[in-house]
Amino acid sequence: MAAPLRIQSDWAQALRKDEGEAWLSCHPPGKPSLYGSLTCQGIGLDGIPEVTASEGFIVNEINKKSIHISCPKENSSSKFLAPYTTFSRIHTKSITCLDISSGGGLGVSSSTDGTMKIWQASNGELRRVLEGHVFDVNCCRFFPSGLVVLSGGMDAQLKIWSAEDASCVVTFKGHKGGILDTAIVDRGRNVVSASRDGTARLWDCGRSACLGVLADCGSSINGVAVGAADNSINLGSPEQMPSEREVGTEAKMLLLAREDKKLQCLGLQSRQPVFLFIGSDAFNCCTFLSGFLLLAGTQDGNIYQLDVRSPRAPVQVIHRSGAPVLSLLSFRDGFIASQGDGSCFIVQQDLDYVTELTGADCDPVYKVATWEKQIYTCCRDGLVRRYQLSDL
């Protein structure tokens, strides 16, 4: 990865006025950072500012919401995208998690203000408040239908809600510590939860029963992912016949991002180990990119890309800053990552630049969700930001 470029978080506003300025910088690893500035030389008839960069930086292209900057000396290039719109009225405090429904119509989010809310994705208008967890809600997501929400809280409870009338239809109890992440298996007859108690569990939604402890690793499980396995991967065989209530677990892998610096992969149905990888620090999040490629992010800013078929050495390690990697999401032919320093970026295979989603000023971006060409982020500053990729 080329040296990361950074820009003033409110650059789009700053450069909208004559002689307005915004700072930018380039951070080559192991070398002194380069600092520069952008200056608005006037606004064109189309409303787009004419912007020049100080020595060492080049403005390749600018639109109302995006600016493409290069630093030729470091062979580094980034396209910065400003939010299309910002929702400030959903929550009053830090937003820890969010998701967008499969139809793109609804958002769900949880906050340290103690609430979990469903809102209209187009304008942030409040639709429902989901009340029932004791203490904070750590994670929330829609089922594939888009009509039902799964949440996990510090109260060690996992709950299923109707997005239509906000009723809690199922509560799962069994964990001994707060639930930190969840995953939905196929269409959602079964779900997986990961907890501070060191276990990952499989649940039967129809009967609100635990189908088993998938892993007990003696260390907090911060993130979990379920993915379909390439058929070249040996997932092992279950020791006993799986319950007929297990639906869609065959040929799937379960990935666990653990606090004890370990990334663990096992067969979801077999519960047999596939690999155990030791990283540089606690793993916070993980996701599958394909039937054999995966990503996992650590507390010290590393993003490991691993191939399940040969997991001993990473395919690559991406390190853009020492800030914790907080979320990872497969996106088109690449991924979106967010970090504790407010950076949120998209890496795509065929592009020679990184797309940076700007706006958060050093506040952690906890979670990212996408729907078609729209990207939503939630942040410690209490804002949901929506980005329009067509603005690129």
Beta bridge pairs of residue 122? none
Residue 198 has a pLDDT of 98
Do 224 and 166 reside in the same domain of the chain?
yes
Strands across the sheet containing 344-348: 58-62, 66-71, 76-81, 354-357, 344-348, 334-339, 325-331
Site of tokens 């630093």: 71
CB 256 within 8 A of CB 215: yes
- On whether the CB atoms of residues 158 and 208 are closer than 8 A, the answer is no
Q: What was the pLDDT predicted at 1?
A: 73
Nearest to 99 by CA among 26, 150, 50: 150
d(CA 202, CA 220): 17
Do 131 and 69 lie in one domain? The reply is no
SS3 state at 93: coil
What pLDDT was estimated at residue 392? 63
d(CA 86, CA 166) in angstroms, rounded, equals 24
**Residue 20 sits in the same domain as residue 122:** no
Same-domain status, 210 and 298: yes
Measured from the Cβ of residue 389, the count of other Cβ atoms closer than 10 Å reads 18
pLDDT of residue 180: 98
Q: Is 173 helix (H, G, I), strand (E, B) or coil?
A: coil
Give pLDDT, residue 274. 97
Burial class (CB in 10 A: 0-12, 13-18, 19+), 29: exposed
The answer on pLDDT for 379 being more than 90 is yes
Based on the fold, state whether residues 51 and 124 are members of the same structural domain.
Answer: no
The total number of structural domains that make up the chain? 2
Q: Which domain holds residue 315?
A: 85-388
- Based on the fold, state whether residues 337 and 380 are members of the same structural domain: yes
Residue 185 burial (CB count, 10 A): 21
Q: What is the pLDDT of residues 262-283, one digit of tens each?
A: 999 999 999 999 999 999 999 9
CATH of the domain at 214: 2.130.10.10
Question: Residue 188 pLDDT > 70, yes or no?
Answer: yes
What are the pLDDT digits (tens) for 113-141? 989 999 999 999 999 999 999 989 999 99
Pinpoint the alpha helices (H) of 2-95.
11-14
Instruction: State the average pLDDT over residues 239-259.
Output: 96
Average pLDDT, the chain: 96
Give the pair of three-digit tokens for residue 332. 């088109």
Cα maximum dimension of the chain: 72
Provide the 8-state DSSP code for 390: G
| Residue 16 identity | R
